[in-house]
Structure 1
């Protein structure tokens, strides 16, 4: 069975399409560092492409924006398609010691609500009716990159092998977001067109920050029965991100703010645990599974402070507390793999997510963040790996994700996102040397 087990693990990984698809992005944080548990020298390259469509309707649930918000506001094309790349390499230094490198994108999101759709602006008082969220969201984009290096030591114990590994993880993160003071109806009440277009918008660019954490874990393998167990831990990574904010002409005139200012925020990407398991159940057949726990509630909000602070009256600074994640997540997936021929391995899997610790949300509400809507979903995946030679193989995978109807309520607006779907395509190659 050793020839079979040499080919199957990557096919299983492709089938699972390891990242968790969410509305407008994916969570690939804390994924298994499987490459460190293999033997021999290897290079792998994987590309992923996901297409998603997200629409919904919003209505005011409190007296924000005066009478400027209609009962239902249609929100179209809220989520963007995205692509990602993962590259890994393993070098066997001795029979017991190996080192591996992997670069990937742990987390990416990009959502946008059309400009002048919603309004927190009270036309009677001329003030923002919800200061803590800095008007209504327009665009939110977060990108990240990680570079992980780890070395492992394997203990051969008869027919089984126990491997311990650890190493540093370097990670960058870049965030931009923008907000809108008033919608088109409210803008008509502002003098001189100060509420139209980008005049009433605020744009934050938090720049790119680099910090380091670590990854550690243990793996156990019995090749004769295709048994592999891996436990992986990714540490939290703390950042102080700094950037600039720009306010439009309307923001400056109507709310007495400076044109530009410097801003900063403390941010922690969460710790995560990952458990992987595969085992043979019949000649040329095996089952596999994965559990992935992420402490996303540690990033419940992003408190951005500006250099120019309010003197205690008015609303002339750019401080903002953005609501992000309201709960931790437990992602799970399980599947089956089959060696079809000497050259072809196929696998299929099912994946979903359990939200943990969201008891503060009202019944029937999935999230309190308009920037990061995350409801229930499941993913069906099919993948395969074809060996062109003993040292070179090609891989491909297809994943279908059903994004369930999602209700977001931040206390001022309730947005119901329609049930939607996403398709993910994966292509890759593996070369042994």
Structure 2
């Protein structure tokens, strides 16, 4: 089996199907897989994610999570036989939560956050089997949070706006490959990125402060190998330090001694198989698992743990143009939104459906 057969299935269809739901506040896995594509390559992708997150807090709570899109772009260029470069655009983190204003406990509670990242990478082949890679990630982020309802007591109606901020992080990685059997093991480290947001809180009118927020550092371990003619086994483990993601504006922190969000670290496991049925058509299926954490969660992220199934397919129109698509179903773990360490409601039997497409051009 030659590794040249597999850039679409391993790097596109399967990743597309699962890209929409990582753990915590993540929306992508910050993949560097395009570095391993054969030849010069451009990729355009888009995923649409539809969460269904409902529960009860005295009265039923309708869906608190809005649909969102995940645009993506990547280009990879071989400078020499040993050195290649890539530029990747994605939206790695985000939140879009709003509780029905009519709910007496949490009604009107809101969290909106948006990030955009541009990552410049380089890969150098030390030998035919060993390579190292790394680069710089430039990230833009902004957000807004409102706390509302009886669950927040005297803080009901609190609002904070975090103005847009740019900050820089980095990526480091190494890979080992045996091309003849399509084997690759890649380890990637994505650094935390520290933002300093210009901050406006409505309980301190006219006062602007600065709030330091770190988006999580993470480690990806990706593995693939041929197990039969035209059949590929794939697995990955991703750890992300969500516990380091803290939002503590100055006035809110002075009043409460704490922050607005509390998340657990996550470790997400994925196992999949890809099969090439014809020279042009291939398909894949994968399963994902993330262990449930403390059932008492922030109302701004009302789930813990997840299980998923993803299917993907790719079709090569010719030697240059290739289309991939994937769909994921994610079952979210049950959780209890809590304030001051006390459960205020219950969220269970929730899920997410995601669909993505990618078109690639090799030149």
> Quick check: 11-20 or 324-333, which moved more?
11-20
* Separation in 2, partners of 1:213, 1:11: 25
Extract unaligned runs of 5+ from structure 1. 59-71, 120-134, 187-194, 247-256
2:348 corresponds to: 418
**Which 4+ stretches in 1 moved above 4 angstroms?**
257-260
Contact 1:18 1:31 in 2 (8 A): no
Please state how far the C-alpha of 1:333 moved relative to its aligned partner.
0.4
Please state how far the C-alpha of 1:279 moved relative to its aligned partner.
0.4
2:30 corresponds to: 31
* Separation in 2, partners of 1:83, 1:374: 20
Contact 1:109 1:143 in 2 (8 A): yes
CA spacing shift, 1:74–1:38, aligned 2, 3 Å: same
* Separation in 2, partners of 1:16, 1:49: 10
Check if 1:390 corresponds to 2:319: yes
Extract unaligned runs of 5+ from structure 2. none
Contact 1:143 1:173 in 2 (8 A): yes
Contact 1:220 1:228 in 2 (8 A): yes
Check if 1:305 corresponds to 2:261: no
* Separation in 2, partners of 1:30, 1:428: 16
Please state how far the C-alpha of 1:320 moved relative to its aligned partner.
7.7
1:409 corresponds to: 338
> What is the Cα-based RMSD across aligned positions, in Å?
2.6
> Quick check: 37-46 or 402-411, which moved more?
402-411
Contact 1:180 1:201 in 2 (8 A): yes
CA spacing shift, 1:384–1:182, aligned 2, 3 Å: same
Please state how far the C-alpha of 1:137 moved relative to its aligned partner.
6.4
- State the TM-score, normalized to the length of structure 2: 0.90
Please state how far the C-alpha of 1:228 moved relative to its aligned partner.
1.3
* Separation in 2, partners of 1:115, 1:35: 44
Check if 1:206 corresponds to 2:206: no
SS class of match (1:173)? strand
CA spacing shift, 1:259–1:271, aligned 2, 3 Å: closer
* Separation in 2, partners of 1:278, 1:262: 50
- State the TM-score, normalized to the length of structure 1: 0.76
* Separation in 2, partners of 1:425, 1:28: 13
* Separation in 2, partners of 1:168, 1:44: 20
Check if 1:335 corresponds to 2:272: yes
* Separation in 1, partners of 2:232, 2:157: 55
Check if 1:431 corresponds to 2:361: yes
CA spacing shift, 1:182–1:288, aligned 2, 3 Å: closer
CA spacing shift, 1:118–1:322, aligned 2, 3 Å: farther
* Separation in 2, partners of 1:202, 1:26: 22
CA spacing shift, 1:156–1:321, aligned 2, 3 Å: same
1:141 corresponds to: 112
Contact 2:13 2:324 in 1 (8 A): no
Counterpart among 360, 366, 380 of residue 309 in structure 2:
380
* Separation in 1, partners of 2:84, 2:225: 23
SS class of match (2:5)? helix
* Separation in 2, partners of 1:258, 1:153: 52
SS class of match (1:322)? coil
2:177 corresponds to: 221
1:78 corresponds to: 64
1:166 corresponds to: 134
Check if 1:52 corresponds to 2:8: no
* Separation in 1, partners of 2:259, 2:67: 23
User: Superposed, which structure 2 residues align to 1:22-421 within 5 Å?
Assistant: 27-28=26-27, 30-58=29-57, 72-115=58-101, 117-118=103-104, 138-157=109-128, 161-180=129-148, 201-246=157-202, 259-299=205-245, 301-306=246-251, 321-355=258-292, 361=294, 366-410=295-339, 411-421=341-351
* Separation in 1, partners of 2:296, 2:209: 27
CA spacing shift, 1:138–1:390, aligned 2, 3 Å: same
Contact 1:15 1:348 in 2 (8 A): no
